[in-house]
């Protein structure tokens, strides 16, 4: 199926590795151009090289919590590739830990990056996008079910998902779509770090895999294909949806 991605241009934040990078790789493979946001110039340069160089991708040093990040990312898309068709907003997972032992400063820092930073980028993109544009959020299965030991994520992700649903209502009349992705146990550095916190990463992975109907962790490539589809014109009648990419781990409808 042709996703209609030829010459489309997308901005992806937190995209030098993991789920953001996997989506960027699939977008480029299908003919799109991408601007990657990340905090490390070295990592950005390496990611751009892996995506085929500056004809296919550009990197911008940007932290989602920085109020100027959104303007710089979107400006780079227009400067280097001449247009903007959508954004995929992803941030690293907030610190692990239970709610009762998470200090105020940790909540504030996570709110700035995970919640407010993401909304700021979405608002800025909404002002630039035209009909057919799309805003995507990489969220978490914690939108629907709390994840043990991830109190901050459990607190912030559901609120961001509801804000995204509200944006879908507000932007729908302009032909702009808003979608969310809910990854669970995808085999990324972040998930491996969480497994290691148990003291026995292999055992933690085995337990988690046993609770997934497909019996295994997902791959970043599998997530990237779903992300690229949702951002593409082929998904033109999907908005306001939260799509689990979890091997069936979420038990509700």
Predicted confidence (pLDDT) per residue in 55-101, tens digit: 999 999 999 989 999 999 999 999 999 999 999 999 778 888 999 99
As a whole number of Å, the CA-based R_g of the chain is 17
- Asked whether residue 94 is assigned to any structural domain, the reply reads yes
What is each CA distance from 24 to 41, 163, 174, 189, in whole angstroms? 17, 24, 26, 17
Q: Is residue 206 part of a domain?
A: no
pLDDT value, residue 30: 97
pLDDT of res. 77:
98
Whether 114 is covered by a domain: the verdict is: yes
Note whether residue 71 is domain-resident: yes
CATH code, domain carrying 31: 3.40.50.720
> Does residue 142 form part of some domain?
yes
Question: Hey, is 97 helix, strand or coil?
Answer: strand
- Does 4 fall in a domain? no
Domain-embedded: residue 79: yes
User: Among the residues of the chain, which ranges form H helices?
Assistant: 18-29, 41-50, 69-81, 104-110, 117-128, 151-171, 189-196, 201-210, 220-231
Which pLDDT tens digits describe the chain residue by residue (253 residues)? 899 999 999 999 999 999 999 999 999 999 999 999 999 999 999 999 999 999 999 999 999 989 999 999 999 999 999 999 999 999 778 888 999 999 999 999 999 989 999 999 999 999 999 999 999 999 999 999 999 889 999 999 999 999 999 999 999 999 999 999 999 999 998 899 888 988 899 998 999 999 999 999 999 999 999 999 999 999 999 999 999 999 999 988 7
Q: State the total domains in the chain.
A: 1
Question: What does the pLDDT read at residue 75?
Answer: 97
> Is-contact 178 242, C-beta < 8 A?
no
Residue range of the domain that includes 229: 9-186+222-242
Please tell me the predicted confidence (pLDDT) of residue 197.
Answer: 84
pLDDT score at 118: 96
* pLDDT (0 to 100) of residue 92: 74
In the block, tokens 């909304």 appear at: 119
Q: Does residue 54 lie in a domain region?
A: yes
187-194 long-range contacts, CB within 8 A, separation 24+: 187/217, 187/218, 187/219, 187/220, 188/17, 188/18, 188/19, 188/220, 189/17, 189/18, 190/18, 190/92, 190/93, 191/217, 194/93, 194/96, 194/149, 194/150
153 phi, psi to nearest 5 deg: -60, -45
Question: Residue 182: beta bridge partners?
Answer: 244
Burial 114-149 (b: 16+ CB within 10 A, else e): bbbbbbbbbebbbebbeeebbbbbbbbbbbbeebee
> Can you give the pLDDT at residue 194?
85
């Amino acid at each position: 199926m042709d996703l209609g991605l030829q010459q489309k241009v997308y901005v992806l934040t937190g995209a030098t590795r993991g789920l953001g990078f996997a989506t960027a790789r699939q977008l480029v493979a299908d003919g799109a151009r991408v601007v990657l946001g990340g905090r490390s110039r070295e990592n950005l340069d390496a990611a751009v090289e892996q995506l085929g160089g500056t004809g296919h991708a550009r990197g911008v040093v940007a932290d989602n919590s920085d109020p100027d990040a959104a303007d710089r990312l979107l400006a780079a898309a227009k400067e280097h590739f001449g247009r903007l068709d959508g954004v995929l907003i992803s941030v690293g997972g907030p610190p692990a830990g239970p709610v009762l032992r998470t200090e105020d400063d940790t909540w504030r820092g996570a709110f700035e990056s995970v919640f407010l930073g993401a909304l700021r980028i979405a608002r800025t993109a909404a002002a630039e996008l035209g009909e057919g544009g799309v805003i995507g959020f990489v969220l978490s299965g914690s939108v629907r079910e709390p994840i043990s030991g991830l109190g901050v994520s459990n607190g912030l992700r559901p609120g961001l998902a509801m804000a995204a649903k509200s944006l879908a209502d507000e932007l729908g009349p302009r032909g702009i779509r808003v979608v969310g992705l809910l990854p669970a146990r995808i085999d990324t550095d972040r998930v491996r770090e969480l497994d290691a916190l148990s003291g026995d990463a292999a055992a933690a992975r085995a337990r988690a895999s046993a609770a997934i109907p497909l019996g295994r962790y997902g791959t970043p490539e599998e997530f990237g294909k779903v992300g690229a589809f949702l951002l593409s014109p082929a998904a033109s009648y999907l908005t306001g949806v939260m799509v689990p990419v979890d091997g069936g781990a979420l038990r509700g409808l």
